[in-house]
Amino acid sequence: MEVTVVKKQMTYTAMQAHKRVAAYARVSSEKEGMLHSLAAQVSHYSGYIRSHPGWTFAGIYADEGITGTKSSRPEFARMLNDCRAGKIDLLLTKSISRFARNTVDLLNSVRELKDIGVDVYFEEQNIHTMSGDGELMLTILASYAQEESLSVSENQKWRIRKNFTEGKPWNGTMLGYRCKDGMLTIVPEEADIVKLIFRLYLEGRGFAAIMKKLNRDKVLTRFGNAWCRNGVKRVLCNYAYTGNLLLQQTFTENHLTKKRMANAGQLPQYHAAETHEAIIPAAQFTAAQEEMARRAARHCQKKKKQDTYPFTGLITCAICGKHFNRKSRPTGPVWICSTYNTLGKGACGSKQIPEAALLTAAREVLGDTDAPASRLTGVLAREGNALVFIFKDGRRIDKRWKDRSRSESWTAAMREGVRQANYARRETN
């Protein structure tokens, strides 16, 4: 009993010696109960640190819905950067499993923090990383935590594969369906969107054109977001819309990386026929896949090296913050905001800049257009045909570019076409 009292006294003394104290909290699920748990952790540490004599509150870092086996935790990374910047002396965390379940990542992080003088205290295990036996205990306990993660992962895989053999859907989050009592049931208004996407594609529209139409008509995705090209493609490639299921098309690499991989024969796939009501007839789905393959073959030419131009990567849109790219038009090359080019005017109201107008403005500011990147950090494209040339020495020069006149927009081919049309009209009269 005396040993326990001495240990607690030593722990308290060691903790008191620190000044700037922060805490790290994490839950591995975004479910409501887990988020309440995270909020409780944050509240506990905020009050505990502020009420402790001699401590300065240095912040709470909290990751939501991210497993401890993943190294890409934004708040965890921010915490490490603040430690490296000398802003933290002591880190508090609930347990080893909250900090990390990957032994290698855990020890690498703890050793780095130890080298820069940052102590980590694990409450449940009552371990200080600065203590003499801290690293040995961490190695043993973290290995147990990693094995626990493996066991949970294997149990989850067993349950999923059991459902696969019974023809049960993996999830019911796809547009057009909801999963009720293990069965997919149609949501009529969403099913209409799915049918529209297939119809537009087979009429000849591409992913981007369909995306723009849906966004222009204020049609939202399953989760209430705007559409993207890949979202349209995922709908067109989803075999479940035929009323059948092809299960285990992807799998998780392992319990540490959590990386999703395409199943190219590494694991068995399960085909379940007529498991739910179809939204798209099988023949229409097959036609869409054949059309997709035909278009891919048509465009699948050996990619040439991407051309670069003097202003590539230099021009930024002041409206949406994206870069301008060079694009060829029948009337000549232009520089256009990538948001406007991909999503349309509704997403960004910027104007395309004729290359001739851009070069004219650049010559008036720079004297020439050779290697502008050697003198500029960037060019800001604002509304009202305004360009802001930002120099590496901090100078900024505003310049307006001029719109092309209507006559300048006409190419020789366009003029010839009008001439021939006028001639034909006179002949018929």
Q: Which residue ranges form the domains of the chain, and what is each CATH number?
A: 2-148 (3.40.50.1390), 166-299 (3.90.1750.20), 315-409 (no CATH)
Which range, of 40-44, 160-164, 224-228, 387-391, averages the lowest pLDDT? 160-164
Give tens-digit pLDDT for 214-270: 999 999 998 899 999 999 999 999 888 988 877 655 545 454 455 666 766 555 666
Confidence of residue 7 (pLDDT cuts 50, 70, 90): very low
Give 212: exposed, middle or buried? Use CB within 10 Å, 0-12, 13-18, 19+. buried
Q: Using DSSP, state whether 372 is helix, strand or coil.
A: helix
Query: What is the tens place of the pLDDT at every residue in 264-308?
Result: 655 566 667 777 889 999 999 999 999 999 998 887 654 555 667
Helix, strand, coil shares, percent, the chain, to 5: 45, 20, 35
Beta bridge partners of 278: none
Decide: 279 and 186 in contact? Cβ < 8 Å: yes
Average pLDDT over residues 386-391: 93
CA–CA separation, 26 vs 39, rounded Å? Answer: 10
Residue 416 is predicted with a pLDDT of 64
- Does position 198 have pLDDT exceeding 70, yes or no? yes
As given in the structure block, the two tokens for residue 124 are 């449940």
% of the chain beyond a pLDDT of 90: 35
Query: Which runs of consecutive H residues, i.e. helices, occur in 344-407?
Result: 355-366
Spatial neighbors of 313 by CB under 8 A, at least 6 apart, are: 323, 373
Closest to 243 (Cα-Cα) out of 264, 213, 271, 214 = 271
Write out the two tokens for 37. 């748990």
Q: Is the pLDDT of residue 86 over 50?
A: yes
- pLDDT the model gives residue 135: 63
pLDDT computed for residue 297 by the predictor: 85
Residue 184 DSSP symbol? E
pLDDT given at position 143? 61
The reported pLDDT for the residue numbered 349 is: 87
Q: What is the pLDDT of residue 236?
A: 95
Q: What is the pLDDT of residue 58?
A: 93
Percent of the chain with pLDDT over 70: 67
Q: What integer pLDDT is reported at residue 258 of this predicted model?
A: 56
> What DSSP character marks residue 346?
T
Average pLDDT, the chain: 78
Mean pLDDT calculated for residue range 309-325 = 91
| Alpha-helix residue ranges (DSSP H) falling in 203-337 | 207-216, 229-237, 282-299
On whether the CB atoms of residues 26 and 92 are closer than 8 A, the answer is no
Q: What local confidence, expressed as pLDDT, does residue 411 receive?
A: 54
State both tokens at 79: 């915490």
Q: Which helix or strand (DSSP H or E) is residue 350 part of?
A: none
Tokens of 389: 């040339």
- pTM of the full predicted structure? 0.43
Burial of 379 (C-beta count, 10 Å sphere; 0-12/13-18/19+): buried
CA dist., res. 98 & res. 89, Å (int):
20
- State the pLDDT confidence band at 5, using cuts at 50, 70 and 90: very low
**Looking at residues 64-76, what average pLDDT do you find?**
65
Helix axes 103-115, 134-165, angle to 10 degrees: 150
Q: Which helix (H) or strand (E) holds 102?
A: none
